[in-house]
Amino acid sequence: MRLNLFHTTAFRLSAGYTLLLTLAVGVTLGSAYLLTGRLVTAEVDLIIDTELKSLEDKFARGGIAGLTEEINLRADSWGRIGAVYLLADPAFERLAGNVTEWPFEGLPSERYPEFEIETIEPGRRALHPVRAALRRLPGGDLLLVGTDISQGRGFAEQFRIATLWGVGLSTLAAALAGFWFSFRLARRVGEVAETCQRIMAGEAGRRLPLAGARDEFDALAGAVNGVLDRLEEQARTLRATFDSAAHDLRAPLHRLRTRLEALLRASPALEPPLHESLEAGLREIEHLQRTLATLLQIALAESGAAPAAAAAVDLAQLTAELAELFEPVAATRGLTLASELQGPAVVQGNRQLLAQLLTNLIENGLKYVPSGGRIELAVRSLAGAVRLSVSDNGPGIDPANRARAGQPFVRFGAAAAEEGSGLGLSLVAAIVRLHRGRLELQGNDPGLRVLVELPASA
Amino acid sequence: MQALLIEDDIEAARILVKGLRESGYQVEHAADGASGRSLACEQRYDIVITDRMLPQVDGLAIIEAMRGRGVTTPVLVLSALGGVDDRVRGLKAGGDDYLTKPFAFAELLARMEALLRRQAQAHSTTRLRVEDLEFDLLARRVTRGGRELELTARELKLLEFLMRRAGQVVTRTMLLEGVWDLHFDPQSNLIDVHISRLRQAVDRGTDQPLIHTVRGTGYVLRREG
């Protein structure tokens, strides 16, 4: 049996798990990225502040001239440590420093403004991002100190790409693992389900396959196989019990019947009153025999896992045959037996048992529907099922009693006085159950409608 | 006619043997499977009647032993098992007919007769004829005294069944099995009504009825009543 992979619990669980994993990896790597970025920036800011502080000290001690000298001393520091210095007058004209001009439009508002420096390095032009801070010196001049942060930026960029790859790959890995896991699980569960269906369909000797992996599935399959062994054993015992019961009840009945019949054949012939009461006795035996046969059939049907000698049976065809068989009898009782059959309506079952089911339903109608009435047989195919309905316009069964009608020896109202065993519907119910169908008794306003739904043959 | 009855129920067997002898059979009785099997394989009987459940060797094993040795004697299986699959198993094993206990003695006689006649009868015929009743099996046409009868497909099948066994008593259950393939007894008098319809078609307006009722047993198609 193939399960729809996307509907399995395993698939849903692993999809959820994959989503959760993606989220967790994303949050972890993302916050690491953000934290690292912030740390790097804080360190840069500290360096800038320290530099600013030391240059402000120089200014405090040596005035503008001392500061200019110090800045000129550090003119090569861009190449060494990526440091940027600029001293500008209030009109942003450069006074000293290793930057050619004021990099901003007027005064930037941020505490650590950033700008880019274009450099010419061997063979190529490059843009370097610089983070800076500035001070207005007493006298109005502006002091700008910055540092090249291109290394930190590059590192952050790599970190970002690594994060994306990390999240992507772990999602992919989780999704693949989940898919594989749920596929395997669905396949093994599917095997179990299919085997169970086959067993239900009558292959009583079949068992669940063991993968030999000693995993939880093997444990489950082993346990289920144990239950199946037990059930098969019980069915066998039950069957043997029924066989002995049938034998032990029929054998004396057979002797009794044989003796009575021998008496009836005897010569000289018996006195007429004796003859008649022997014949009455024989009729009682026949009645007893019929009840016993029906009871045994119910018991066999109830104990069986699947109908014996099951084959494809067209219920429409079978119903047509029985309608034709019963039509003359119905006519002699003043009843109309009509049928509306849409075939083929094929079910997997035992033809004799299904014919018996139809016979019992039709005979119920013959028995209870008064002359002038009507019995309708209908068969049609539904999606995956075949529906048989036997409807009449007779007295029907009180709604309160319908549920009990399928129980053995239960009869109602007028029926209680009628001849018959009260087993007809029980046998119908047992045959329907054996064929894994559904039996329903409905009102027909007036009358009774018996609905039988059997699974359609695949 | 030589018949062998294999039956472990001594009491029932005694009465059956007596009844069969009164009906013109020479009967031997075996009370257990082992002696029944060796007798049945001797091939000097016209028919073997065996119980299904026997001590030691059961009825089906006897049939298999017979068929294994090429003994073609017709076998009628008597069984106290009446399940739908028991019958199938009995016939599959090589039995020719199957009767569930308890049965009417007349039923047993009718089925024995049918099995014995079946042996003698050639089935390849295309035309059946009883007196002035003719059945053209190929054209599915029936005439009585040259006049064509209008019969339904089922009535044709019923008439064919009776004509092939002309002169033999045919029981209601034999008709249900042979014509409708139903192996259980409906309670209604179905067969009687179908026969009476067929009789209407076949015998009406003639002074020589062919379909006769055998009281308590069934029907027979033959010349005189």
ipTM computed for the complex: 0.90
Tokens of A152: 């930190």
Q: Which of B84, B185, B187 sits opposite A309 (nearest CB)?
A: B84
Is residue A264 within 8 Å of residue B19, measured between CB atoms?
no
Residues of CATH 1.10.10.10 domain(s) within chain B?
A: 127-221
Q: What angle do CA A286, B22, B219 make, to 5 degrees?
A: 50
Residue B85 pLDDT: 77
pLDDT given at position A421: 63
Beta-carbon separation of B103 and A328 below 8 A: no
Closest CA to A144 of A55, A59, A224, A214: A55
Cα separation, B197 vs B207, whole angstroms:
17
Residue of B137, B119, B116 whose CA lies nearest to B127: B137
Mean pLDDT of B216-224: 88
Sheet of B2-6, strands arranged across? B26-30, B2-6, B47-51, B75-79, B97-100
Q: Where in chain B is the domain with CATH 3.40.50.2300?
A: 2-120
CATH architecture of A10-157: 2-Layer Sandwich (3.30)
If one counts every other C-beta atom within 10 angstroms of the C-beta of residue A196, the result is: 15
pLDDT tier, A30 (very low <50, low <70, confident <90, very high otherwise): confident
Over residues A172-220, the pLDDT tens digits come to 999 999 889 888 888 888 888 888 888 777 677 888 888 887 888 888 8
**Tens digit of each residue's pLDDT (9 = 90 or more) over A310-361:** 889 999 999 999 999 999 999 999 999 999 999 799 999 999 999 999 999 9
Mean pLDDT of A260-286: 89
Burial A355-367 (b: 16+ CB within 10 A, else e): bbbbbbbbbbbbb
| pLDDT tens figures, B113-143 | 999 987 666 567 888 999 899 999 999 999 9
Note whether A204 and A227 are within 8 A (CB): no
Nearest CA in chain A to B182: A352
User: What residue spans define the domains of chain A?
Assistant: 10-157, 216-303, 311-455
- Domain A216-303: which CATH number of 2.60.120, 1.20.120, 1.10.10, 1.10.287: 1.20.120
d(CA A408, CA B69): 48
Q: Which two tokens stand for residue A185?
A: 């699980």
pLDDT at position A419 is 56
Q: Which residue from A minimizes the CA distance to B88?
A: A309
Q: Is the pLDDT of residue A376 over 80?
A: yes
Question: Domain B2-120 maps to which CATH number in 3.10.20.30, 1.10.3720.10, 3.20.20.70, 3.40.50.2300?
Answer: 3.40.50.2300
* Paired tokens of A222: 């082993």
List residues of chain A with CB under 8 Å from any CB of chain B: 243, 246-247, 250-251, 253-259, 261-262, 265, 285, 289-290, 293, 296-297, 300, 308-309, 321, 324-326, 328-329, 332, 350-353, 355-356, 359, 363, 366, 420
Minimal Cα–Cα distance from B92 to chain A, Å? 12
CA dihedral (A163, A165, A169, A171) positive or negative? positive
Model confidence at A417: pLDDT above 70: no
Q: Does B52 touch chain A (CB under 8 A)?
A: no
Strands, DSSP E only, in chain B? 2-6, 26-30, 47-51, 75-79, 97-100, 127-130, 133-136, 141-144, 147-148, 170-171, 211-214, 218-221
Q: By the CB < 8 Å criterion, does B81 face chain A? A: yes
| pLDDT value for A126 | 81
Residue B89 to residues A164, A203, A407: CA-CA distances in angstroms? 72, 18, 30
DSSP-derived 3-state class of residue A424: helix
Q: Check if the beta carbon of residue A452 is closer than 8 Å to that of residue A318.
A: no
Tens digits of residue pLDDT in B163-176: 999 999 999 999 99
- Beta-carbon pairs below 8 A across chains A and B: 107
Cα separation, A84 vs A106, in Å, equals 18
- What pLDDT sits at residue A411? 66
Q: What pLDDT is attached to residue A455?
A: 92
CATH number assigned to the domain covering A311-455: 3.30.565.10
Does the domain made of B127-221 have the CATH classification 1.10.10.10?
Answer: yes
Which of A246, A329, A352 is closest, CB to CB, to B190?
A329
Neighbours of A454 (CB within 10 A): 25
Please say if the pLDDT value at position B225 is more than 70: no
